[in-house]
Chain A
Amino acid sequence: MARVFIFNIVRFLILIILQIAVFKNIGYYNIATLFPYILIILLLPTGIPNFFLFLLALLTGLTVDAFYDSIGVHAAACVALAWFRIFFHKITLDVEEQAFQTPSWGNMGFKWFSTYLLLGTLVHHLVLFLTEVFSFQNILHTLASIFFSSLFTVVVILLISLITYNRKSRLAN
């Protein structure tokens, strides 16, 4: 339990630093940008109280916002992602699976994890880009950015998960 706690904090720090130092500078104009930091929220242990989940999501979003100078945009997207997470866990996991464990690739299997990741990324990016643009003008451009950015983010997150595959499954057990 304590290890999970520490690992989540470490994951938070590493992903935030990577996001603001590395991923912020990668992208194809504003068509495809990547936000793998959402892994922080996706990989929070299952079964944590909803309020805490939302609070952590808000804090994560605000942290990223602080570095992107876009107060509230990432926070809104992360809160939406947290809601999706609760919904998705409720309909796909049994009660005992909702006990305290990290919903990672190693623990949940590729099929579950990839669906979770794909839908979560889409929800997050949809809210993110729509809040950022804040209008329905140029909707095609916005939708294109959402699509390509989601694709980009999903690929990068899968790569990160692949690299940390073994370690994570050992951690949760």
Chain B
Amino acid sequence: MKNLWLFLVRYNAFFWFVLFFVFSVFLVVQNNNYQRSAFVNSSNVIVGTFYENVNSWKEYLSLRDINQQLADENALLRKKLQNFLPTDSTASTDIHLTDSISEERYDFIVASVVNNSINQKSNFITIDKGTSDGIEPDMGVITSNGIVGTVLNVSQHFSTIKSLLHPDTKISVTLDSTTTAFGSLVWGSNTDSRYAMVRDIPNHVKVHIGAPVFTSGYSTKFPKGIKVGHIVQTDLASGESFKDIRVLLTTNFINLNHVYIVKDKMSTEKLELEQHNKDNG
């Protein structure tokens, strides 16, 4: 007993330290949400990982049961479908979702490229559809994996497209699908048809190399969320509070065959509405 007392006295600094330190950490965990959640989470990670491991082994043992269950469920669904089909033979078999805004707003007209250039300072594309197919100037042109440009002039059977590889083309883009940062996509001072620039991204926006760039949907030319390209270079300053970004385009301008002309059915409505702003302001 005496020895124990001596031991405690001799190392009293350490024991006081442990007591006070535990008290402090207790206060931290008790009062601070972040640490509390971290505490809970770390324990959850341990428990969760353990269960995950156990489960991955247990799964094999019950595969036969699961297969049986799935087969039963399939049989049941098939039976229901069988009951369902004859009574409903007049209706069309596929179901339409009536989301008029996203489904019906845009029409896409397929066209073939008949003339294309990529090596000029201002590049144009000619396609084999014109006014007789409903094409009008200022419509957007896309391809299956990116954007191409905007319609410039239209004749009855042909149209010319001001390609993205043209100094006057400006397309509103966002840096991610959550649309937090906007910029305008331009070809820039490039000579390479694979790269373009996004101008006027605010400096505070975090940009990651390899991140995709999408159309913003602010103009009537392009639907929202078409992938334009991937970021390859971010450290190009354009001004004090804006930066430029170099983008590797997903569109392959070199062998462009089929393009889609985007027809926005609500463009007149939108433009008319926006015209009122100009009239009043």
Complex partner residue of B23 from A50, A58, A73, CB under 8 angstroms? A58
Question: Does B24 interact with chain A (Cβ within 8 Å)?
Answer: yes
Question: Does A72 interact with chain B (Cβ within 8 Å)?
Answer: yes
Closest chain A residue to B25, Cβ basis: A76
- A4–B24 CA distance with the chains assembled, in angstroms: 28
Stretch in B28-36, B84-92, B118-126, B162-170 with 4+ CB within 8 Å of A: B28-36
Closest chain B residue to A86, Cβ basis: B13
CB <8 Å contact, A50 and B20:
no
Question: Does A75 interact with chain B (Cβ within 8 Å)?
Answer: yes
Closest chain B residue to A50, Cβ basis: B13
CB <8 Å contact, A79 and B35:
no
CB <8 Å contact, B17 and A135:
no
CB <8 Å contact, B32 and A61:
no
Closest chain B residue to A135, Cβ basis: B38
Closest chain B residue to A77, Cβ basis: B24
Question: Does A29 interact with chain B (Cβ within 8 Å)?
Answer: no
Chain A window 133-145, contacts with chain B (Cβ cutoff 8 Å), 1 for yes, 0 for no: 0110000000000
Chain B nearest Cβ from A84, distance in angstroms: 9
CB <8 Å contact, B31 and A57:
no
Task: Give the residue among B21, B24, B30 with the most A Cβ atoms within 10 A.
Answer: B24
Residues 1-41 of B at the A interface (beta carbon under 8 Å):
12-14, 16-17, 19-21, 23-32, 34-35, 38-39
CB <8 Å contact, A70 and B32:
yes
User: What residues of B have a CB within 8 angstroms of the CB of A82 in the complex?
Assistant: 17, 20
User: What residues of A have a CB within 8 angstroms of the CB of B19 in the complex?
Assistant: 54
Question: Does A83 interact with chain B (Cβ within 8 Å)?
Answer: yes
Chain A nearest Cβ from B113, distance in angstroms: 50
Complex partner residue of B27 from A55, A72, A83, A87, CB under 8 angstroms? A72
Complex partner residue of A54 from B20, B25, B31, CB under 8 angstroms? B20
Chain A nearest Cβ from B20, distance in angstroms: 4
Complex partner residue of B25 from A57, A58, A72, A87, CB under 8 angstroms? A72
Question: Does A80 interact with chain B (Cβ within 8 Å)?
Answer: yes
- A116–B110 CA distance with the chains assembled, in angstroms: 78
User: What residues of B have a CB within 8 angstroms of the CB of A54 in the complex?
Assistant: 16-17, 19-20
Chain A window 33-66, contacts with chain B (Cβ cutoff 8 Å), 1 for yes, 0 for no: 0000000000000000011001101100100000
Residues 166-183 of B at the A interface (beta carbon under 8 Å):
none
Residues 31-90 of B at the A interface (beta carbon under 8 Å):
31-32, 34-35, 38-39, 42
- A131–B23 CA distance with the chains assembled, in angstroms: 13
Chain B nearest Cβ from A55, distance in angstroms: 8
User: What residues of B have a CB within 8 angstroms of the CB of A131 in the complex?
Assistant: 24-25, 28
CB <8 Å contact, A79 and B17:
yes
Chain A nearest Cβ from B16, distance in angstroms: 5
Chain A nearest Cβ from B7, distance in angstroms: 15
User: What residues of B have a CB within 8 angstroms of the CB of A50 in the complex?
Assistant: 12-13, 16
User: What residues of B have a CB within 8 angstroms of the CB of A18 in the complex?
Assistant: none
Contacts A83-B13, A134-B35, A135-B38; is A73 near B28 (CB within 8 Å)?
Answer: yes
User: What residues of A have a CB within 8 angstroms of the CB of B29 in the complex?
Assistant: 72
User: What residues of A have a CB within 8 angstroms of the CB of B13 in the complex?
Assistant: 50, 83, 86-87
User: What residues of A have a CB within 8 angstroms of the CB of B12 in the complex?
Assistant: 50-51
- A71–B35 CA distance with the chains assembled, in angstroms: 11
Q: A51-B12, A57-B20 are in contact. List 8 more A-B contacts (CB 8 A).
A: A58-B24, A75-B27, A76-B25, A80-B17, A80-B21, A83-B16, A83-B17, A134-B39
Residues in chain A within 8 A of chain B (CB atoms): 50-51, 54-55, 57-58, 61, 70-73, 75-76, 79-80, 82-83, 86-87, 131, 134-135
**What 8 A-B pairs come out closest when comparing CB atoms?**
A72-B27, A72-B28, A76-B24, A83-B17, A75-B24, A71-B31, A79-B20, A86-B13
